[in-house]
Structure 1
Amino acid sequence: MNCWGHYGWVKDNSSFNLNNHILLNKATYRGSPVHDGNIQDFVSTLVEKYIPSDLPQWQVIVIPIASNKSALNVDATDEETSNSAQEEQHYYILLKIHHLIIAEEDDLHISEMLMLRDNSEKPIIEIGGYTQNISKTKSLSYFIRKPEHIERLLKYLMRVVVNQWNKFIYEFESLETPDDTSGIQITNISQLLSLLLIVAVNVMINYWKSVVAMKRKSNRYQKHLTPSEGKIKVIRRLLAREAEQRHLSWPTAKLAIQNSLQPSNLTKTWATLVWKANVNSVLALPYRIFCELMAMRDLIMKGETTLSTTYSGRLSIFLPLLIYAQMEFLRICYEIFKAPVNIFEELVQYPSREINKLNKMSYSGRKIASFSKPIDAQQLRERVAFSDEVRESDYVLSCLSGAIRDYLELYSTEVAIPKMLNTTCRTMAKGYFTDNLDDKSDYIGGVVFLPLPLKVPDREHARQIHSIIEQIRRKQVMIYLASMGQTKYDMLTSIFPRVLTKICINYFSSNFPITITEIYGESSDFETTWGQTVEDVLLFRPPQSKTCLSLNVHHFGDRYRLAVMADTQLGPDHSKIVRAFENYMESVIL
């Protein structure tokens, strides 16, 4: 339901019927069997149809594909038909889902609806090294360099804090031991204060988890939820549970204080402190100095040391992380300082103002789709010699640019082909389709604005695209990070007024009518959760606001594939983009 640009959803499942959302389609299309030759037209017809507005906006459509013999109307015996059906019968599964459902449901993952998993995510353990996954050069997936040194420093500090906290808990925790005997008894003030600190931290962590869980439940089951407890009641309940688990009570605390204030215990405590101070400062001092000297010798001779408990060993780990993180932080501050000028130049001053066919058309809002055949990247690398001047990503964008040019050439008698076309680009990782545990926004990259030169692909064209991407990496850092903040935390819509954000979205979507998305993964291996092999997965991101054409480049392992979703007003010639992309990727030699 759409009213004044806002979408309304009725959160009522009383009339929900699964048969309205999971459909087994017939195996015929316009009187002939559905096969690989006409599947694109059939899928495009299904995409064009709206889901009834009174139903939740998602559907799973199973499309059976006829065998080759039945598709070609070739006579066959019953036994041959049976064997052919067993060997060649396969299905296309079309999932139609509104983007707001994915955005609003925080704990809903696409992988849960596709029921997919990636069977190639197996780590390789190197002897004497560390665990890592095989990585290959991505195509478009590194527009902006991430702040890696700050992340490493934070991970190191977090690891140190967690290790010290676990050590602290192991020493002072008073929960029941596995053999049903009581743990450490609370007999003095130090144990009492330690347990109070553990209880306070656990209460804060559990309270935060309960708040997050209640927010998710309230978003999904707002109509059916009973009024929740107040904050004070929740905290009191958590405190009571933690105290009961650790046998902590007022009499126990009083007894611990009384024991600590006894003269004999006070004398014993002071004697222990004096002894430890003397041992650490006097008796153990020569040994500590020896260890420090050995650690310094290792650092000078080998560049690293195994004496990680020494001050020199700790500084050798922490100091480089701190220095590089500070340098990275200063670069980020410099980017923030330059951000207003860069954003104005990249979004207002530099974008092309040439009129093209896409700007002059009025659109219906209905969508059509088309997709290419798989293109072998290994054969591409054997045919084209890539270098630092022309990378594989530049070649792919050059072929995509040539395909867009060929499409606009069909209307060159009405509107001249522009020299530059404004596009927006973003990336999505394969884990978006296969992972149902992590935050799904972690697999979605930021947005950059790419002015795409429209020419026939050649080496000079690829070099021009390479220089444009290098400029994007220098000047669109803040645009990229701001769009990632919006994806993960709704940062921009929470800071700026809703009216202003709508005006900006309409302005930029009209000036940037094409969106390019790269979906990348280390391998092309997919399978269902029950182990059945999936040949391929294609994502059709719908054009939103005033954009009219969405180009989705899939790069899984050594395979490229293009999926196009366009407004119906751009059809039926939208398939020209797919055919031209296939032709350029298989024939152009730089």
Structure 2
Amino acid sequence: MQATESTSGKEGHFLDFLVTLWIFVIALVAVPYIITCYTVLYIFQNVWFGTASFLNPELEFIKSTTLRSLVETHRNQGILTIMLKINGPPTLASIRRHLEELVRRKDRSGKLAFPHLTDCLVTRCGTYAWRKSTFDLEQNLIFAPYNFRGRPVNELTIQDYVSDIVSKLLPTSIPPWQVVIIPSSENHHYLLLRLHHILLSEGLNIADMLPLIPPVRTSVSGSDCNTSLGNVLLMPKFIPALKDRLTQDFTNSWNEFILNNDPLEKPELFKRNASFFEFVAISFIVLVSTFKEWRKGLKSIKPGLLSHVKYLCITLRREQAKRQINLNIFVKSIFVSCDPRNVIAIFIRNWYRWSLFTLAIPYKLYMEAKAIQSCIMLKYCAYPNTIVGFLYSYVPLTFKASQELLNYAGIIFNTPRAIWEELSRNSEKVETVTLCGRKVVAWSEPVKIETIRKIANSTSTTDTEIILATASEALSRFVVHANNVQPKEIPITARNINSNYFLLTGSNVRPTDSVGGMLCVDLPILDSRKDADLMENLKRIKDNINTAKEHQQLTYLLSMLQTKYGFLSKLLPATLITIALKYLSLKYSVSFTEITSRQPFVMQRTIWGQEVSSVIYWRPPQANISISLCTNYYGQNVIFGVMCDAQLAPNHHLLVRGFHEYVKDLEASAAIQ
């Protein structure tokens, strides 16, 4: 019986391997078509943009393509929204001066640093373009009234007030950004920034729009948050070590080669005629030096193939002149090598070297034995110049590096099947209404970071898993209240963003460097109509995240490459990507974004000295995504925010209103455990 079960298990594993192999081969066969597609798209896009620019000379077309621009419609815009709560009265004049300076700011060449802040965004020939317009700051800078629907603006009305502003589309007749100052009847005010995502691809950072004091530290990875959404990729350890070892040994050998054969390092080579082999060595040094100098000078010459080739020829002639290499020297080197006296001298020299080597064999064997003894007794080799030392240095390192390569090969081999299984499986949806594209927002009361960290430490989980456990409870109540259906799991997309994304600025700062990759996670949903076990649900969330991190390393990397370099949108046709995004957003209709702080427990200040007590950032849901959950770490607190389709209002408040209560429930369950 056991033998039969063992045989059937082996057959099952073999069939599973065959299915994975078959899907991988299909993906491999598609690679040449993707490369061909990229070439065709590159040519077609250049022709298309050239034709569009010729037909519309007054417009400046945007050639970069992002995933948001592919799924964006007039009524479902990708407007990034961030709100600052600032202590003290509003200062309209200071904000106006900041924005005026930003619009007029120039770079080192004397050109406007952000020329498109004053341009209108239009659509022509199926793509975005900038159109010059008469810019009036008063249309983009708005000082909101002190009252909202007849009531003063305070903590009770601010959420409805902000939702009312966010739900309105940005006018197409003004540049696609807006700053709204919201005064309050209490001793603080709010600064709301709405920014079209296209501006971020034009060199603008969100922090440029915010009147905040620049941070002292600029480390992108300077976050103290215990997150599950970072370090998804298994970073190689032995492959870089092997690379460094090879680089070091090669550098030493190259420096020795230069020292013995470069006339600039060994001037006596200029005083005699070089042999043929010396000429070859000097010529090789000339070629390497030419390439190095050519690469250094590329930034100082005009772009273009002709300029590069011309500069390469000039560099080659300069390096030849330094070392006195020409055709005459080449001919002389042949005669020098064929001289009988030189031939006899070379023969005697080689015979002498071989004689010394033969006599030194006993000593070399002794040194090899000492090296073996050193490896056994001391666990390291004290004789690196021996064969044993070389093997002891490279063999274990090469073996471990090969293991890492095989591991990465396994990830690549299994990824096509993992993607196929994710695409083909059925999943449950949250919304049951047709989306309208307008957005509403809400946010929770702040919760202390120490409280979440305490629960995470007592349950051996991470801050991310604690937040997702509260999101599970919130989604459970929202779904039951909205359509009286209780799903067991809801597929969500999750990613981590460092707060440098919207709080760091500078000419060398790219916001996309602060954005992590995306994970697709099945979020277990608590049954709010029964006595649910919060700790068991937390364990399921942890297991699901670990499973996703194990099987989605390559897709996580691809999502990062797309965010930073537009990798996928350059390879595949826009129509195919749009269809895929619409389909995937139907399956993953909830997105979760974790915004971790680059400087935990540090409060920002405006450039005129007022303290910023809270920062809330919302990522807009697009395509068929209906709910975007955002966790904002700032100072000593965490705020849970949501931006969702206006058709889900007013129930969207249920997603964040009980955040403080959910954390207390988890804290109580962790204490009982």
Q: TM-score, normalised by structure 1?
A: 0.72
Q: 1:367 aligns to what?
A: 439
CA 410–494 in structure 1, closer or farther in 2 if over 3 Å, else same? same
Question: How far apart, CA to CA, are the structure 2 residues paired with 1:384 and 1:372?
Answer: 20
Question: How far apart, CA to CA, are the structure 1 residues paired with 2:501 and 2:373?
Answer: 48
Question: How far apart, CA to CA, are the structure 2 residues paired with 1:281 and 1:526?
Answer: 71
Picking from 384, 387, 407, the partner of 1:331 is 407
Deviation at 1:174, TM superposition (A): 9.8
Q: 1:146 aligns to what?
A: 234
CA 316–562 in structure 1, closer or farther in 2 if over 3 Å, else same? farther
SS for the counterpart of 2:169 is coil
* Farther off after superposition, 480-489 or 109-118: 109-118
Asked if 1:352 is matched to 2:427, the reply is: yes
CA 431–290 in structure 1, closer or farther in 2 if over 3 Å, else same? farther
Q: 1:80 aligns to what?
A: none
Q: 1:542 aligns to what?
A: 620
CA 579–295 in structure 1, closer or farther in 2 if over 3 Å, else same? farther
Q: 1:580 aligns to what?
A: 658
* Farther off after superposition, 262-271 or 322-331: 262-271
Q: Is residue 223–residue 597 contact of structure 2 (8 Å, CA) maintained in 1?
A: no
Q: 1:421 aligns to what?
A: 490
SS for the counterpart of 2:458 is coil
Picking from 450, 461, 468, the partner of 1:378 is 450
Question: How far apart, CA to CA, are the structure 1 residues paired with 2:355 and 2:616?
Answer: 68
Asked if 1:432 is matched to 2:501, the reply is: yes
Question: How far apart, CA to CA, are the structure 1 residues paired with 2:145 and 2:258?
Answer: 64
Provide Cα deviations, 1:6-32, integer angstroms capped at 9, x if missing partner: 8633235x4363726863635734377
Deviation at 1:399, TM superposition (A): 0.8
* Farther off after superposition, 276-285 or 233-242: 276-285
Picking from 175, 194, 209, the partner of 2:285 is 194
CA 454–156 in structure 1, closer or farther in 2 if over 3 Å, else same? same
* Farther off after superposition, 476-485 or 504-513: 476-485
Question: How far apart, CA to CA, are the structure 1 residues paired with 2:283 and 2:658?
Answer: 74
CA 157–580 in structure 1, closer or farther in 2 if over 3 Å, else same? farther
Mapping of 1:144-543 within 5 angstroms? Answer: 144-149=232-237, 152-153=240-241, 156=244, 160=248, 163=251, 167=255, 187=270, 189=279, 190-204=281-295, 207=298, 230-240=304-314, 243-244=317-318, 248=321, 253=326, 257=330, 263=336, 299-304=375-380, 318-349=394-425, 351-353=426-428, 356=430, 358=431, 360-382=432-454, 386-388=458-460, 390-412=461-483, 415-433=484-502, 434=504, 437=508, 440-455=511-526, 456=528, 458-521=534-597, 523-524=599-600, 525=602, 527=604, 535-543=613-621
CA 279–183 in structure 1, closer or farther in 2 if over 3 Å, else same? same
Q: Is residue 21–residue 58 contact of structure 1 (8 Å, CA) maintained in 2?
A: no
RCO comparison, higher one (Cα < 8 Å, 6+): 2
Deviation at 1:410, TM superposition (A): 2.6
CA 528–16 in structure 1, closer or farther in 2 if over 3 Å, else same? farther
* Farther off after superposition, 318-327 or 540-549: 318-327
Q: Is residue 116–residue 526 contact of structure 1 (8 Å, CA) maintained in 2?
A: no
Picking from 633, 638, 654, the partner of 1:560 is 638
Deviation at 1:306, TM superposition (A): 7.3
Q: TM-score, normalised by structure 2?
A: 0.64
Q: Is residue 422–residue 511 contact of structure 1 (8 Å, CA) maintained in 2?
A: yes
Deviation at 1:565, TM superposition (A): 1.3
Q: Is residue 403–residue 578 contact of structure 1 (8 Å, CA) maintained in 2?
A: yes
Deviation at 1:454, TM superposition (A): 1.8
Asked if 1:96 is matched to 2:174, the reply is: no
Deviation at 1:578, TM superposition (A): 1.6
Counterpart residue type for residue 407 of structure 2: R
Question: How far apart, CA to CA, are the structure 2 residues paired with 1:497 and 1:292?
Answer: 61
Provide Cα deviations, 1:98-147, integer angstroms capped at 9, x if missing partner: 22343x44x55445555775545689xxxxxxxxx988562222473424
Deviation at 1:315, TM superposition (A): 5.2
Deviation at 1:298, TM superposition (A): 5.3
Counterpart residue type for residue 378 of structure 1: E
CA 315–574 in structure 1, closer or farther in 2 if over 3 Å, else same? farther
Question: How far apart, CA to CA, are the structure 1 residues paired with 2:397 and 2:155?
Answer: 55
CA 503–4 in structure 1, closer or farther in 2 if over 3 Å, else same? farther
CA 231–46 in structure 1, closer or farther in 2 if over 3 Å, else same? same
Question: How far apart, CA to CA, are the structure 2 residues paired with 1:250 and 1:346?
Answer: 62
SS for the counterpart of 1:584 is helix
Deviation at 1:463, TM superposition (A): 1.7
Question: How far apart, CA to CA, are the structure 1 residues paired with 2:213 and 2:540?
Answer: 39
The count of aligned residue pairs is 527
Question: How far apart, CA to CA, are the structure 1 residues paired with 2:626 and 2:393?
Answer: 52
Deviation at 1:280, TM superposition (A): 9.5
CA 344–311 in structure 1, closer or farther in 2 if over 3 Å, else same? same
CA 321–365 in structure 1, closer or farther in 2 if over 3 Å, else same? farther
CA 501–378 in structure 1, closer or farther in 2 if over 3 Å, else same? same
Deviation at 1:551, TM superposition (A): 0.6
Counterpart residue type for residue 583 of structure 1: E
Counterpart residue type for residue 236 of structure 2: E
RMSD of aligned Cα (Å): 4.8
Picking from 121, 138, 146, the partner of 1:28 is 146
Deviation at 1:294, TM superposition (A): 6.4
* Farther off after superposition, 250-259 or 542-551: 250-259
Q: Is residue 595–residue 631 contact of structure 2 (8 Å, CA) maintained in 1?
A: yes
Provide Cα deviations, 1:514-534, integer angstroms capped at 9, x if missing partner: 111122346323657979675
Provide Cα deviations, 1:191-219, integer angstroms capped at 9, x if missing partner: 45313321124435655x689xxxxxxxx
Q: 1:57 aligns to what?
A: 176
Q: 2:629 aligns to what?
A: 551
Deviation at 1:484, TM superposition (A): 3.2
Deviation at 1:546, TM superposition (A): 0.9
Q: Is residue 57–residue 98 contact of structure 1 (8 Å, CA) maintained in 2?
A: yes
Q: Percent identity?
A: 24
Question: How far apart, CA to CA, are the structure 2 residues paired with 1:48 and 1:165?
Answer: 66
Q: Is residue 426–residue 517 contact of structure 1 (8 Å, CA) maintained in 2?
A: yes
SS for the counterpart of 1:49 is coil
Q: Is residue 427–residue 444 contact of structure 1 (8 Å, CA) maintained in 2?
A: yes
CA 470–122 in structure 1, closer or farther in 2 if over 3 Å, else same? closer
CA 18–3 in structure 1, closer or farther in 2 if over 3 Å, else same? closer
